Amino acid sequence: MAPKPPLSELPIKTADVGFYRGFSVNVTVISKIIISVLVVWAIVWPEWAGEVLGAWNAVILNNFASWYIWTVTFFVIVCLGLALWPTAGRMNLGQPGEKPEFSNFSWFSMMFGAGIGVGMLTWAVAEPVAHFKNNPSVIQGVTTALEADNVRTAYVWSYLHWGLGAWACYAVAGLALAFFSYRRGLPLTIRSALTPLFGKALSGTLGHIIDIVAVVATILGVAQTLGFGVEQFVAGLTRIGIGGLALEDGSATTLGIIVALLVIMGASTLSALSGVGKGIKWLSNINMVLSIALLSFFILFGATWFGATAFFVGIWDYLVALPGLSFNVYKSDGVEGSEAFLLAQWQGWWPVFYWAWWIAFAPFVGLFLARISRGRTIREFVLGAMIVPSLMCFVWFAWAGGTAVDLELNGNAGGLILDAANGDKIFAMTEFMLSPISQVLAWGMAAMIVVLLMTFLVTSADSAVLIVNTINAAGDEGPKARPHILFWGAALGLVVAGLLISGGTGAIQTAMVIGALPFSIVMVLMCFALIKAIYNDGRREAAGVPTTHGEIQAAAATPAE
């Protein structure tokens, strides 16, 4: 008996008239209520919010560390398996013969800018320096903090956090959404990716819950990025001579937070109103050009040879260590200060935090990747969305971070970079490098980094606003009502402000780790749904049964999963 054609229709009820016309009222209103309650709670009762979030964070880190680590490992295995699987690799994320909408340069620019680009300006310098000072090998006495024997280990951990695991989270979400939306003709929303498992039941309450979880995770994941970005943006403004926005320790004042968010969210909301094809594409191309210019400075005038060694040797060390690190979970013995306690604590601060961050970021980046990747094959998508961005991250960490590590290792910086706040490290390093030559050059470099940081932040924020509205509008990619764009732009800014006020970036980190947990379950289900769908499509193709929305319509078949 020949298999039936796949499900190619998933009706989602949206309002026909009124303020919510075109939107799923259930998803939109409940999402707004959840985020609004979080904002009010964090701003009106900051101490209470900080205490509760901290307690929840401890519970999750104690009980779900292994879940986060093994789940991301599963995503890497699934993505690489799909790329190697002949049946899957050749499938087009669109209709037969459809070509990509964007050139490779624009595709990579938007993918990198919206995905992790903003993180490079903070963590490409800060993270290798942090791991150079402390990591599990230092805790276990295998290597020595701030000494040459710890450099390679520092890069293994840096590459682990920003390499294949990070981009596998995005690739899973993006691939599932593109497959079911552009091949099957289903709505471009999270619930569509689970149709092989739950079918038309996703039109109702179950689908609403999945999309609400995705919206909340998106807001919290992007809030984490913006929280770090705001701190760094304020540090940059201080470096170029705008005072009163930061305290002596480098942290942003309340005034600094407000000014930074007004600038960033104002620009991002205006960009979001212009859509992906205009504002976001234009900003992505600008920040890619500025990124190349800044990176070229580090390669040419920074630790050129040290960076090259960190890049090539670091990748080798990372790939050798990857199988072991992908499954390793440190268990605390409950004795504060013991080696087991410190290892588990470090893992919570770094790998678990990062995996939660990437998972929370996945509905946003995944849906965005799907939107810009229509017409590409699954193999092209997986390799392009995992390997190329990972290599770009490694380049940044090798030369930008390598310059910082080299300056500290050789004693030239004398702790200047090491002691600076994470967001301020790149400014401290470039000023140290350029100020002996020219104060004007040092100021100009700081100003360029501020502009680059702003374009990255605006790209991330306006993309998030558009993605949230797409989910709320049952996958409609068309123009959204301006009031809803303005609401989510303001809501995102208030979430960041509220959590920063209630507990700094630590509060945002905690809220994000909590929000990522339910969506991680959704992503695991996405993997099984995608594998099932591809396997069944292979059987359908062999039997001559249509597999894409266009073919199903042409054959006038009755849709069924």
pLDDT at 113: 60
Closest CA to 456 of 487, 426, 421: 426
Tell me which residue of 288, 319, 314 sits closest to 399, measured CA to CA.
Answer: 314
pLDDT of residue 104: 81
User: Would you state the torsion angle of the CA atoms of residues 549, 551, 554, 556, taken in this order, to the nearest 10 degrees?
Assistant: -70
**Is 541 buried (19+), middle (13-18) or exposed (0-12) by CB count in 10 A?**
middle
Asked if residues 303 and 144 have their Cβ atoms less than 8 Å apart, the reply is no
Write phi, then psi, for 557 (nearest 5 degrees): -85, 155
Largest CA distance in the chain: 78
Round to whole Å and give the CA distance between 399 and 512.
Answer: 30
Classify burial at 226, counting beta carbons within 10 Å of its beta carbon; exposed 0-12, middle 13-18, buried 19 or more. buried
Q: How far apart are alpha carbons 326 and 322 in whole angstroms?
A: 6
| Domains assigned to the chain | 25-555 (1.20.1740.10)
Give every CB contact of residue 286 below 8 A, 6+ residues apart in sequence.
455
**What is the phi-psi region of residue 54: left when phi exceeds 0, alpha when psi lies from -120 to 50, beta otherwise?**
alpha
Question: CB-based contacts of 484: which residues, under 8 Å, 6+ apart?
Answer: 23, 28, 469, 472
465 contact partners, CB below 8 Å, separation of at least 6: 268, 269, 272, 485, 488, 489, 492
Residues, the chain, total? Answer: 561
Q: What distances in angstroms separate CA 85 from CA 197, 236, 254, 379, 514, one per listed residue?
A: 21, 47, 52, 9, 34
- Of 428, 19, 382, the closest CA to residue 169 belongs to 382
Hey, how many other C-beta atoms are within 10 angstroms of the C-beta on 439? 11
What is the per-residue pLDDT for 170? 92
Q: Which residues contact 161 (CB under 8 A, 6 or more apart)?
A: 127, 350, 351, 354
Angle at 315 between CA 310 and CA 321, to 5 degrees: 115
**Which residue bears the tokens 């609403």?**
208
pLDDT confidence of residue 153: 97
Residue 451 burial by CB count (10 A; 0-12/13-18/19+): exposed, middle or buried? Answer: middle
The tens place of each residue's pLDDT in the chain, 561 residues long, gives 668 888 888 999 998 888 888 899 999 999 999 988 888 887 788 778 778 877 887 787 778 889 999 999 999 999 999 999 998 889 989 888 888 888 887 787 777 665 566 678 889 999 999 999 999 999 999 999 999 999 999 999 999 999 999 999 999 999 999 999 999 989 989 999 999 999 999 999 999 999 999 998 888 888 877 888 888 888 888 888 887 777 776 677 778 888 888 888 777 777 666 654 455 566 666 777 888 899 999 999 999 999 999 999 999 999 999 999 999 999 888 888 899 999 998 998 899 989 988 998 888 888 878 888 899 999 999 988 898 889 989 999 999 999 999 999 987 888 999 999 888 999 999 999 999 888 999 999 999 999 888 877 877 777 788 888 888 988 886 655 678 878 888 888 888 887 777 666 677 777 777 888 899 999 999 999 999 999 998 888 888 888 888 787 776 545 455
Q: Concatenated DSSP letters for 466-493?
A: HHHHHHHTTT--S---HHHHHHHHHHHH
Residue 199 exposure: Cα atoms within 13 Å on the Cβ side? 6
